[in-house]
Amino acid sequence: MAPAASSRHRSRPFPSLLILTLALTLFATVTTKAQLSENYYDASCPAALLTIRTAVAAAVLLDRRMGASLLRLHFHDCFVQGCDASVLLDDTGSFTGEKGAGPNAGSLRGFEVIDNIKMLLELLCPQTVSCADILAVAARDSVGQLGGPYWTVLLGRRDSTTASASLANSDLPGPKSNLNNLLNTFANKGLSSTDMVALSGAHTVGRAQCKNCRARIYNDTDIDASFAASLRTGCPQQAGANDGALEPLDASSPDAFDNGYFGNLLSQRGLLHSDQALFDVGTTDDLVRTYASNSDQWGSDFVAAMVKMGNISPLTGTDNGEIRMNCRRVN
Ligand code: HEM
Q: Could you read off the pLDDT of 76-102 as tens digits, one per residue?
A: 999 999 999 999 999 999 889 999 999
Question: What mean pLDDT is predicted for residues 1-5?
Answer: 38
What is the Cα–Cα distance from 275 to 175, expressed in whole angstroms? Answer: 8
| 128-182 confidence digits (pLDDT tens) | 999 999 999 999 999 999 999 999 999 999 999 999 999 999 999 999 999 999 9
Pairwise CA distance, residues 218 & 262, whole Å: 22
User: Which residue's CA is the closest to the ligand 1 atom numbered 23?
Assistant: 200
Closest listed residue to residue 154, CA positions, set 300, 31, 51, 308: 308
Phi-psi region of 163 (alpha: psi -120 to 50; beta: other; left: phi over 0): beta
Q: Is the pLDDT of residue 56 over 80?
A: yes
Check if 142 has its Cβ closer than 6 Å to any atom of ligand 1. Answer: no
Q: How far is CA 297 from the centre of its chain?
A: 21
pLDDT at 34: 67
- Where residue 319 falls among pLDDT bands split at 50, 70, 90? confident
- Residue 8 pLDDT > 90, yes or no? no
Whether 132 and 158 have beta carbons less than 8 Å apart is answered as yes
Please compute the mean of the pLDDT values over residues 211-227 and round it to a whole number.
Answer: 98
pLDDT tops 50 at residue 30: no
The active-site residue, picked from 9, 74, 76, 273, is: 76
Query: How sure is the predictor about 318, in pLDDT bands with cuts at 50, 70 and 90?
Result: confident
Q: Is 260 in the pocket of ligand 1 (CB under 6 A)?
A: no
CATH superfamily of 191-308: Peroxidase, domain 2 (1.10.420.10)
CA distance 85 to 140: 16
Tell me whether residue 203 is one of the annotated catalytic residues.
Answer: no
Mean pLDDT of 290-319: 97
Residue 315 CA to ligand 1 centre (angstroms): 25
CATH 1.10.420.10 segments of the chain? 191-308
Ligand 1: which residue has its CA nearest to atom 36?
A: 206
In sequence order, which residues have a C-beta less than 8 Å from that of residue 203 and are 6 or more positions away? 249, 250, 261, 271, 272, 275
Report d(CA 116, CA 140) in Å as an integer: 17
Class of domain 48-172: mainly alpha
Q: Range(s) for CATH 1.10.520.10 in the chain?
A: 48-172
Residue 211's SS3 state is: helix
72 CA to middle of ligand 1, Å?
6
State the closest ligand 1 atom to the C-alpha of 69, by its place in the atom list counted from 1: 41
Contact 160, 320 (CB under 8 A): no
Cα separations in angstroms, 127 against 48, 110, 114, 119, 300? 12, 21, 15, 11, 34
Q: Are 69 and 60 in contact (CB under 8 A)?
A: no
With beta carbons less than 8 A apart as the criterion, state whether 153 and 141 touch: no
Q: What pLDDT is stored for residue 195 in this prediction?
A: 99
* CB-based contact 72:202 (threshold 8 Å): yes
